[in-house]
Structure formats: structure tokens, C-alpha cells
Structure 1
Amino acid sequence: MTQGAFAGRVVLITGASSGIGRAAARAYAAQGAHILLAARREEPLREAALEVEAFGVRALPVRCDITQPEDVERLMREAQAAFGGLDVLINNAGVGLFGPVEAISEEQLRQVFEVNFFALVRVTRAALPLLRQRPGGQIVNVSSVLGHRGLPLLGGYGAAKAAVNALTESLRAELAAERISVLLVSPGFTETEFRQTRLHAEGWRQSPPPLKQMSADEVAKAMVRASRRHHRDTVLTLPGRLMVLANRLAPSLFDRVARRMVTRMAKRPEP
């Protein structure tokens, strides 16, 4: 039997077909966890499941659109049937949005909130009965440094992640008596497909970030470490931590820094 900090435990990961979610599946599997992988794309989901099984644990890939209540209900039924409950829920699925507030459409903003916030709430509420069946349940919400400090041209995405941050704090207090811990992991710039799949305001595109990016595996390793230690808030990358600190100590100064940094990342629409 595979040994590790999560040996024999069951971990459900949304957005598990690529990026941070897929890397997290491997990282928890390396620690002995059985993995329930949920995502919309079937082929990469099956490939991710094969990567997980290489660690000698069970993997169950389930096609699931977390914006659809019936999909989420079916996901939980499959978790119950296959594993008899859950130990850890990783709310990782998300979509990005780039552009100034006046240029992003209401439809785009609603889509980002539907995936990043409302679907996270839906999955969490559906998973709670399963988490309660096991001692020491855990919920890990994947946020962003932008949930701690908004940046120009990223306001819509940052607003959705700030909502996740506030929800996490509320859930943490509500579930403490049941010994279900609720953690927040906030990556900075990360090398994934995320930039290719994000939404953009009409005519706007983001250039490559000016800062060094973490790999998805580095984020996953930090996530597992936080999960193992029950670390309530984890802000990743040195620039990310400095950004949060600078915003707390000198917000006006950081406003100017933020304008310069993000302007270099933007491809403006032609007049």
C-alpha cells in the first residue's frame, strides 16, 4: 500500500484535467491519497487519472461541469458509491478575465462569478455530507493573490476571488465545531493553460507576465504542504507575498506600482 501523509484518504479535485488541478492530483497521490478527478474535458481527464494510478492509488475520473447542479449531484453520488465519502475537497476549477472594468461585458463578469464563486459554493455544499462521514475533513479553496489585492485590468477576476476569500473565512468559522478545516491557497502568476483559456474584454489581450512564474507542480507541492499542516492561509510566490504586504503598508504607493506593472502586460485595442 502506498505510504504518505494522506495514505488511504479520498481527495476530490475540481478542474483536475490540467494545470494546478492536475498537478495537485499527482501531488496528493504521491502522498497516498485516492483521487476523484472532476473536469469537463474527458480525454485529458482520463490521462490525468492514468498519471494518478501510477502512484499505486485509485483514481476515478468523472466528467463534470460544476456550473450544472445535476452534474455536481452525480459527482457526489459517484464519490459515495466508489469511496464511501470524502476526506478532502479541493475547489480548484476557475476561469480568468482580462480587461478594464468599463470594457468587460456583464455576461463575461457573470460567467467568471458563476465558475469561480457560485460553482465553488455549489460543490462545497454538495460535498459537506460526504466530508462529515469522515473525521478531520478538509476543504481547500484555490484563490489568487488578486483576491487579496486588485490590480488594473484584472478587476473582474480579482473580485470573484475576493468573494472566495470572504466565503472561506465564513466557512472556517461555521465548520470549526465539526472539525472540518477550511484552507485558502492563493497562487501568483503560474505557468498553466490558464492564460490561453481566460476571457478578454473585446480588443484586449494580455502580454506574458513580467514576473517569474511558478510551475503548477510547485503550486501543488505548496498546497499539499499547507493541507498537511492545516495552514489556514497560504500566499504563493515572493512577489505575491510582497504585493499583499505592500498593499497593507503603503496602498497608495502600491497603486502606482500596480499601474506600471499591469500596463506593461496589456495589449490595448486599436483606436
Structure 2
Amino acid sequence: MATRDFQGKVVLITGASSGIGRAAASAYASQGAHIVLAARRESQLQDAAREVEALGVRALPVRCDVTVEEEVHRLMRETEAAFGGLDILVNNAGLGLYGPVEGFSEAQLRQVFDINFFGLVRVTRAALPLLRKRAPGSQVVNVSSVLGHRGLPLLGGYGASKAAVNLLTESLRAELASEGISVLLVSPGLTETEFRDARLSAEGWKQDAIPLNAMSSATVASAMVRASRRKRRETVLTLPGRVMVLANRWVPALFDRVARRIVNPAKAP
């Protein structure tokens, strides 16, 4: 019989209507967890909730924009009313940005940081009282990117937001350790999701197909649940992602040349 390591636990996932967040909802639910699904798109959110409930657990879909303080606090109130507390928070909501540093606008960069970084801070701070109710043993899982470990040309704005997440994760981990709350970092590489379609782009810029194999959202979700089960503090996904991080550490000048080839940029017509 399959193990259900998170039987009866409550997991809240932001950005849960599609991609990695939706896959993570199903992955945790398959291990017996009840799921709070937070996202902005109502119809997709309801569909994801039905998928979760089909796995025999409870699902609470809550429309929430992580950039709006009141909506975040409403999310926590509804979570507490339904479940009394929270075992695992997965900060997954994110927005991409493509283009050179001189090309994207300050408004675009602020929008990306407001979701990827400040949204994560906003949700985490609001969730801490609920996580403390289930401590020791509760968790914060922050979804970053390999680009938070190593910047690539034309992806600097997005990578900067994720690098901020990485550093915040380290600080938060130390701050909460004495309370028995684990803080984990999961850094996927290129993933097959709607993410590239929804991201912002500098005016006049587009990205052709990247010459790398993309992993599936389900693969990322499985790795996330595995890291959560083992309380692994940091997970960098796929061999190319780990090689990229190591190459940047040991031979950064060489990897600079490789990085220019990976991105394969093209100006929009």
C-alpha cells in the first residue's frame, strides 16, 4: 500500500491554479494532505480544487492576489476557519520578466518583485501564526529558480527577484529554527508550464526556443514533496541546473560564455 506521509496535514499553496502549484497540490494531496489553493484565476482554481478532492482529501480554493495585503489576510482567516492551523506553506506564485536590464521598465521590475519577493514575504508573515499552531514540525517551502543562484543574460530582472528569495530563505530559516519551523528552498530549472506565456517582456524583445530540455510540473512537484518529507533545506532541480550552479561557483568566466549561448535571444520583429 502506498505511503501517505502527509496524512491529515494542511498545505497552503500560492499560484495553485496551474503549473508547478497545481501539480504540487495534487502531489501533496496524494500523500493525504488537505490543500488550500490560492490563486487569482477563479475558474482554474475551482478546477484544481476538484482534482484535489478527487484524491479523497479536502480542498479549500481561495481567490487571492498575493500583492494585496487584505486578500492575503482573508486567505489566512479562511484557512484558520476551515482547518484551525497550517502545517506547510508553499510560496509558489511567480511572474517572469525577459529582456536586457536597459530594456525592461522600472514598473515591470517592480511588478515582478511585488509578486515574487514581496508577495512571498507578505504571505509568509501572515501565515506564521497558523504555522506556529502546528510547530514543531511545520514548514515554509519557497519556490525559487536556478536563476536565483546564477544569472543569465536577458533574465536578470527575474533572477534578481529569485536571488532575493534565496537570501531571505536563509535568514528566515535561522530565525525560525528554534521554534521547530523548517524553511526549505526548491529551485527548478526550465519547466513546462504557462509561465513563459504569462511573463512580462521588455519592449521589442522575445525569446526563441531554449536549447534545453524542460522538466514537467509533476517532476518539480514530486521533488518538492520529497524535499518536504526529508526536510531538505535546499533542492536544485535537474542535473543541468546543478551543473550550472557548480560551474558558476568554480569556473564563472567560462560559464559566462556558455550563458550567452543558452539564452538564444532575438529581437521581436
TM range, smaller chain: over 0.9
Cα distance in 1, alignment partners of residues 186 and 268 from structure 2: 34
| 1:157 matched residue in structure 2 | 158
| 2:267 matched residue in structure 1 | 268
2:129 partner amino acid: P
The answer to whether 1:248 aligns with 2:245 is: no
SS of 1:101's equivalent in the other structure is coil
| 1:107 matched residue in structure 2 | 107
Cα distance in 2, alignment partners of residues 11 and 3 from structure 1: 17
Cα distance in 2, alignment partners of residues 261 and 99 from structure 1: 14
2:58 partner amino acid: R
Structure 1 residue 145, shift from structure 2 partner: 0.1
| Residue correspondence of structure 1 range 209-220 to structure 2 within 5 A | 209-220=210-221
Structure 1 residue 185, shift from structure 2 partner: 0.1
| 1:75 matched residue in structure 2 | 75
| 1:26 matched residue in structure 2 | 26
Structure 1 residue 47, shift from structure 2 partner: 0.2
Cα distance in 1, alignment partners of residues 7 and 262 from structure 2: 43
| 1:226 matched residue in structure 2 | 227
Cα distance in 2, alignment partners of residues 179 and 247 from structure 1: 33
2:157 partner amino acid: G
| 1:96 matched residue in structure 2 | 96
SS of 1:202's equivalent in the other structure is coil
SS of 1:16's equivalent in the other structure is coil
Structure 1 residue 208, shift from structure 2 partner: 1.8
Structure 1 residue 269, shift from structure 2 partner: 3.9
The answer to whether 1:195 aligns with 2:188 is: no
SS of 2:133's equivalent in the other structure is coil
Structure 1 residue 15, shift from structure 2 partner: 0.1
Superposition RMSD in Å: 0.9
| Residue correspondence of structure 1 range 44-193 to structure 2 within 5 A | 44-135=44-135, 136-193=137-194
Structure 1 residue 253, shift from structure 2 partner: 0.5
Cα distance in 1, alignment partners of residues 98 and 57 from structure 2: 38
2:187 partner amino acid: S
Cα distance in 2, alignment partners of residues 144 and 251 from structure 1: 18
**1:28-51 Cα shifts (integer Å, max 9, x gaps):** 000000000000000000000000
Structure 1 residue 3, shift from structure 2 partner: 5.9
Cα distance in 1, alignment partners of residues 48 and 266 from structure 2: 34
The answer to whether 1:39 aligns with 2:32 is: no
SS of 2:44's equivalent in the other structure is helix
Structure 1 residue 105, shift from structure 2 partner: 0.3
In structure 1, the gaps of 5 or more residues are none
Cα distance in 2, alignment partners of residues 209 and 237 from structure 1: 16
2:229 partner amino acid: R
SS of 2:196's equivalent in the other structure is helix
**1:181-215 Cα shifts (integer Å, max 9, x gaps):** 00000000000000000000001011122100000
Runs of at least 4 residues off by over 3 Å: none
Q: Identity across aligned pairs (percent)?
A: 75
Q: Which moved more, 1:64-73 or 1:202-211?
A: 202-211
* TM-score normalised by length of structure 2: 0.98
SS of 1:132's equivalent in the other structure is helix
SS of 1:7's equivalent in the other structure is coil
| 1:6 matched residue in structure 2 | 6
1:51 partner amino acid: E
SS of 2:235's equivalent in the other structure is strand
* TM-score normalised by length of structure 1: 0.97
Cα distance in 2, alignment partners of residues 225 and 199 from structure 1: 31
